[in-house]
């Protein structure tokens, strides 16, 4: 693997330009207006896998957007790495908060990324991180250094819940058979502090509607005499947390895993600067569940958050009105052992009970998934750890993340393989936000580190 650095040096301009071309296609899976672009992105990924050296690549149709599947099997007795990633991206809005257009990638330097970062929707989540794997694979094939078999499964519906991928995985267990699943769709602690993600939170996402009178009413003629659905919804939502910021849904914490004092002490060793965290967000202070640190609140503890709330008059000026309906979208981040179907049911039953007479409540579940936690003594983890040691000169820190990739727990259940999450993004890369970016240094460091994982994984599997 000595020449990986030289290979990157010789080809980095092309690596960056290829990623920029991919980022120009607006593959927003949530918005049907971009349907053709999402399909075009699948085709672009297919081509890139063929050019990089896959023997076969197929764009597999689903009920939704296709899954790009490619493979290079060099010997049946060698281990097989299954790379998963997604080519779809989050919607870019609010558009006016972008400093440069989301689908016209630009390289700009920032204090965290003095050597430049690519600004575009999907730069970090996940086109940039997915494409690192394609380029690392290209290096191994072209330089005759591929030590094992590789399968790629790149989907186009991660940002909308991966429902069709779940069907695909269940139907193609044989074809997807592998020894480890490798994903770069998470982050690391800092440029000089590599980390490996050992946990992901689960998710239950619901939408609620409170309905009062059968039409919008004059707020003077009727105000005070009928339940105002927006007032009621606000009250109901406010009651979901108590004064200690514990969630009040009965049974919500029943299956939450309590970490031992030793495990929490180990977690607390990860470098974290509270002042820097607060000042990066321009907040006077953090806020959350009593009895837990910031790093615990956003990783080992479950949450409930309103993601959007609307109803009534929100236009210019004032309109005196009591709306007939009020709505909110609510996400609950879950920890391992909490079952997302069960939590959705608990939420629904509790929320319906909360409603006073005079309004009706409808709870509609959207999507969800199980959390994930993986041990640090598996072959995959040890191989990843050695790969980072080689390229960063430091042992990576295991870290549970607050984000979710619901398909990961399903991979383990269906394919019986562990997932290794080698993320190269930073929290400050603004994924899902305006001005998302991915450091050029991180992109190239990822390409450099991945081939070492393949080598160590193959060696440790013997
Ligand atoms: N790549 C993210 C998840 C992520 C980011 C995990 C950083 C850990 C660290 C993924 O694309 C994502 O956004 N997932 C969604 C869930 C999905 C069901 C929409 C999420 O976490 O909100
Ligand atoms: Mn992602
Ligand atoms: Mn995402």
- Give pLDDT, residue 361: 98
Question: Minimum-distance ligand to the CA of 30?
Answer: 1
Question: Minimum-distance ligand to the CA of 403?
Answer: 1
Strands 325-334 and 202-211: antiparallel
3-state secondary structure of 81: strand
* Torsions phi, psi for 418 (to 5 deg): -80, 150
3-state secondary structure of 3: coil
| Ligand 1 atom nearest to 86, measured from its CA | 11
| Ligand 1 atom nearest to 331, measured from its CA | 22
CA of 98 to the centre of ligand 1 (A): 21
Query: Whole-model pTM?
Result: 0.94
| DSSP states of 230-272 | HHHHHHHHHTTB-TT--B-STTTTTTPPPPPHHHHHHHTTS--
- Give pLDDT, residue 133: 98
Query: Which two three-digit tokens encode residue 304?
Result: 């409930």
CA of 120 to the centre of ligand 1 (A): 17
- Give pLDDT, residue 138: 98
Residues in contact with ligand 1 by the CB-under-6-Å rule are: 125-126, 158-159, 161, 185-187, 200, 203, 367, 401, 403-406
Q: What is the DSSP letter of 28?
A: B
Q: Which residue is associated with the tokens 């097989």?
A: 80
| Distance separating alpha carbons of residues 140 and 248, to the nearest angstrom | 53
CA of 423 to the centre of ligand 3 (A): 13
The residue whose C-alpha atom lies closest to atom 16 belonging to ligand 1 is 404
Which has the closest alpha carbon to 188: 432, 3, 449? 449
Mutate-to-test residue for ligand 1 from 199, 403, 420, highest number of ligand atoms within 8 A of CB = 403
Which stretches of the chain score pLDDT less than 70? Answer: none
The residue whose C-alpha atom lies closest to atom 10 belonging to ligand 1 is 405
- Give pLDDT, residue 2: 73
Mutate-to-test residue for ligand 1 from 196, 333, 405, 424, highest number of ligand atoms within 8 A of CB = 405
CA of 290 to the centre of ligand 2 (A): 30
The residue whose C-alpha atom lies closest to atom 13 belonging to ligand 1 is 159
CA of 386 to the centre of ligand 1 (A): 26
Using an 8 Å Cβ cutoff, are 16 and 442 in contact? no
| Distance separating alpha carbons of residues 325 and 347, to the nearest angstrom | 20
Cα angle for residues 430, 138, 68 (degrees, 5° grid): 65
| Distance separating alpha carbons of residues 69 and 292, to the nearest angstrom | 42
CA of 186 to the centre of ligand 3 (A): 9
Using an 8 Å Cβ cutoff, are 335 and 257 in contact? yes
Mutate-to-test residue for ligand 1 from 185, 204, 425, highest number of ligand atoms within 8 A of CB = 185
| Ligand 1 atom nearest to 367, measured from its CA | 18
CA of 352 to the centre of ligand 2 (A): 33
- Give pLDDT, residue 1: 76
| Distance separating alpha carbons of residues 432 and 308, to the nearest angstrom | 15
CA of 320 to the centre of ligand 1 (A): 40
The residue whose C-alpha atom lies closest to atom 5 belonging to ligand 1 is 186
Which are the contacts of 308, defined by CB distance < 8 A and separation ≥ 6? 328, 329
Using an 8 Å Cβ cutoff, are 57 and 41 in contact? no
Using an 8 Å Cβ cutoff, are 448 and 211 in contact? no
Query: Which two three-digit tokens encode residue 234?
Result: 């606000």
Mutate-to-test residue for ligand 1 from 159, 198, 438, highest number of ligand atoms within 8 A of CB = 159
Within 13 Å, how many C-alpha atoms sit on residue 180's CB side? 25
CA of 127 to the centre of ligand 1 (A): 13
CA of 28 to the centre of ligand 2 (A): 12
Mutate-to-test residue for ligand 1 from 335, 404, 431, highest number of ligand atoms within 8 A of CB = 404
């Amino acid at each position: 693997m000595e020449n990986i650095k030289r290979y990157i040096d010789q080809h980095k301009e092309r690596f960056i330009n290829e990623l920029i071309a991919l980022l120009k296609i607006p593959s927003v899976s949530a918005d049907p207006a971009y349907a053709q672009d999402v399909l075009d992105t699948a085709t672009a990924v297919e081509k890139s896998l063929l050019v990089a050296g896959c023997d076969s690549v197929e764009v597999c149709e689903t009920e939704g957007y296709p899954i790009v599947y490619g493979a290079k099997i060099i010997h049946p007795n060698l281990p097989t790495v299954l790379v998963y990633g997604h080519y779809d991206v989050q919607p870019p809005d609010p558009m006016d908060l972008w400093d440069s257009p989301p689908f016209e990638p630009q390289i700009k330097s920032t204090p965290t990324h003095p050597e430049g970062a690519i600004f575009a929707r999907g730069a970090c989540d996940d086109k940039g991180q997915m494409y690192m794997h394609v380029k690392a694979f290209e290096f191994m094939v072209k330089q005759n250094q591929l030590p094992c078999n590789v399968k790629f499964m790149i989907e186009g519906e991660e940002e909308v819940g991966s429902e069709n991928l779940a069907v695909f995985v269940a139907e193609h267990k044989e074809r997807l058979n592998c020894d480890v699943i490798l994903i770069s769709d998470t982050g690391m602690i800092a440029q000089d502090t590599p980390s490996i993600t050992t946990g992901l939170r689960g998710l239950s996402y619901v939408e609620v509607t409170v309905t009062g009178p059968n039409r919008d009413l004059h707020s003077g003629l009727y105000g005070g005499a009928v339940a105002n659905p927006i007032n009621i919804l606000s009250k109901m939502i406010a009651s979901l947390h108590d004064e200690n910021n514990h969630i009040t849904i009965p049974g919500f914490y029943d299956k939450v895993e309590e970490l031992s004092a030793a495990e929490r002490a180990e977690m607390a060793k990860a470098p974290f600067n509270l002042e820097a965290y607060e000042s990066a967000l321009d907040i006077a202070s953090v806020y959350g569940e009593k009895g837990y640190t910031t790093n615990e609140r956003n990783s080992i503890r479950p949450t409930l958050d309103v993601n959007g709330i609307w109803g009534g008059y929100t236009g210019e000026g004032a309109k005196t009105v009591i709306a007939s309906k009020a709505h909110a979208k609510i996400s609950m981040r879950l920890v391992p052992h909490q079952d997302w179907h069960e939590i959705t049911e608990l939420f629904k039953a509790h929320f319906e009970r909360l409603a006073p007479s005079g309004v009706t409540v409808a709870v509609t579940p959207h999507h969800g998934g199980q959390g994930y936690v993986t041990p640090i003594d598996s072959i995959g983890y040890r191989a990843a750890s050695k790969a980072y040691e080689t390229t960063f000169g430091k042992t990576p820190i295991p870290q549970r993340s607050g984000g979710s990739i619901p398909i990961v727990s399903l991979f383990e259940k269906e394919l019986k393989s562990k997932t290794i999450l080698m993320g190269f993004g930073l929290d400050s890369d603004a994924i899902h936000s305006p001005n998302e970016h991915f450091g050029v240094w991180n992109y190239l460091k990822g390409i450099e580190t991945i081939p070492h994982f393949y080598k160590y994984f193959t060696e440790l599997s013997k």
